[in-house]
Amino acid sequence: MRRVRLASSERTLICLTVRMNRWTLAARAGLLGLTCVLASCGPLPQRASVPTLWQPSPNFGERLPTFVVIHYTGADSASAAVRTLTSRQSQVSAHYLISRDGTIVQLVDERSRAWHAGESRWGALIDLNSASIGIELDNDGRSAYPQSQIDALLSLLSDLRQRYRLPAANFLGHSDVAPRRKLDPGPLFPWRQLAASGFGLWCEAPYPEPPPGFDAITGLRALGYDTRQPEAALSAFRARYTPDAPPSDPVERDRALIHCLAQASLDR
């Protein structure tokens, strides 16, 4: 075989070409590896435990909240509440926390299911966590809510209402959806002020006379309350709508107010 002598410049060009090819291959391998790593970081589709064929469809959407549930933290400070709401051990969370000075902290993506309502029921819905935005207010359960905090809440609620087109009746308290277990946001929460801005139902006295035979507990059920324990549902209702009324207030007054609110829910 005859050897071919190459000029120095030709040998240099060949060496550079070989090196560039090696660099290209290495870069491609690195890019492929990076792609595999990034793909592995994405969430895997939740599948059935029985054998299935996976044929993904592009026709789907994110979780769409249809309710807002308002809580108080019961903690001494916003920082203490944040620690609880972000602790793996607590197993509790909310989408937003509003401090007493009006600072809003987001803790969970609105598209995700936060763990704030627990065992809950409203109407036919038996899991409010799956269909709601949870908002925690920095309050120990005994103190009045500062106006700066309520102003921030109203701004947030207005934003949520606009983006999700929520009706007034779908702004609830934790005690509404869990009357046997919870008291928050408590009798000091200004539901009347919120209703004036379109968040929640309200009726002003004197209330129209309900029709003969109208039953208060049936009316509570129509509003959405879980009436399996009627006294608990009635107590939660009174804490929201008539917190200043004496405990012995007659049920007849409740009937008129419940009927008025039921009518208001139909009109909105």
More confident residue, 13 or 251: 251
Residues 19-46: what's their mean pLDDT?
A: 48
**Confidence (pTM):** 0.81
6-15 mean pLDDT: 45
pLDDT value at 261 more than 70: yes
pLDDT of residue 268: 64
- Percentage of the chain with pLDDT > 90? 71
10 among known catalytic residues: no
Given the residues 10, 110, 136, 252, the one annotated as active site: 136
How far apart (Å, rounded) are the C-alpha atoms in residues 84 and 73?
Answer: 9
